[in-house]
Amino acid sequence: MLIEKLTTQDIEELATLAQKTYRQTFSHSMTIKEIDDIILSTKSVDAFKQFLKDGDDFFVAKKARKIIGYIGMQKPNFKMSGRNPTSKDQALKGIYVDKKYHHQGIGRQLMDYAFDQPRFKQAENVYLCVWEENKPAYNFYLNYGFKKVGTYDVIANGKVIGTDQVMMKANS
Ligand SMILES: CC(C)(COP(=O)(O)OP(=O)(O)OC[C@H]1O[C@@H](n2cnc3c(N)ncnc32)[C@H](O)[C@@H]1OP(=O)(O)O)[C@@H](O)C(=O)NCCC(=O)NCCS
């Protein structure tokens, strides 16, 4: 498996994987309308193009030249209840692995790779948000050393539809 920085040529393939995995993960806890709304704003080709323009970084995991997972990094720009990030902190902007490849250590390898990049390595703390009902991801983060530090409203179509747990891992 190879992990490399996202290029503009790969955005379409990345968006396809992100959308498919998002639907598989959240179809039990959201309506189709809510999922479509979030996909448009966070997992569409235009959304990823905008994130790159905004300075977010993405790394893709490839097997036989096909994208099987990705991890993103962003400035922590969310407001939450609980501990708030500072300018010395960074945040995860999604980690998604193709369902076919779950439980093979790809998620952990993507996380290790991200924490080895200067953006995360030099951060004081790394934050992330995870949907409260997404137990596999929540446990994955806990096992990786993240701790719950707050909560965050999930908004779709202008309405609060649930709560994300905010987690943080301190760099020591
Ligand atoms: C969360 C997610 C990224 C984890 O990816 P993954 O590649 O399955 O993660 P890993 O394989 O590294 O680890 C997952 C589990 O598999 C186990 N595992 C790793 N390699 C294994 C192997 N060879 N055999 C059996 N189990 C293994 C790990 O111990 C780990 O278990 P744990 O979390 O209880 O410690 C993945 O489940 C995913 O993409 N989910 C859908 C999208 C999502 O929810 N993203 C997060 C949104 S906030």
The structural architecture, per CATH, of the domain 2-123 is: 3-Layer(aba) Sandwich (3.40)
Ligand 1 cavity residues, CB under 6 Å:
21, 25, 95-97, 102-108, 130, 134, 136-137, 139-140, 143
Residue-level pLDDT, tens digit, the chain, 172 residues? 999 999 999 999 999 999 999 999 988 888 899 899 989 999 999 999 999 999 999 999 999 999 999 999 999 987 777 778 999 999 999 999 999 999 999 999 999 999 999 999 999 999 999 987 899 999 999 999 999 998 888 777 788 878 889 999 999 7
Nearest CA to ligand 1 atom 10: 105
List the domain boundaries for the chain: 2-123
Token pair of 9 as six digits = 């040529």
Q: How far is CA 164 from CA 4, 15, 99, 120, 152, in A?
A: 29, 22, 22, 22, 5
Contact 117, 82 (CB under 8 A): no
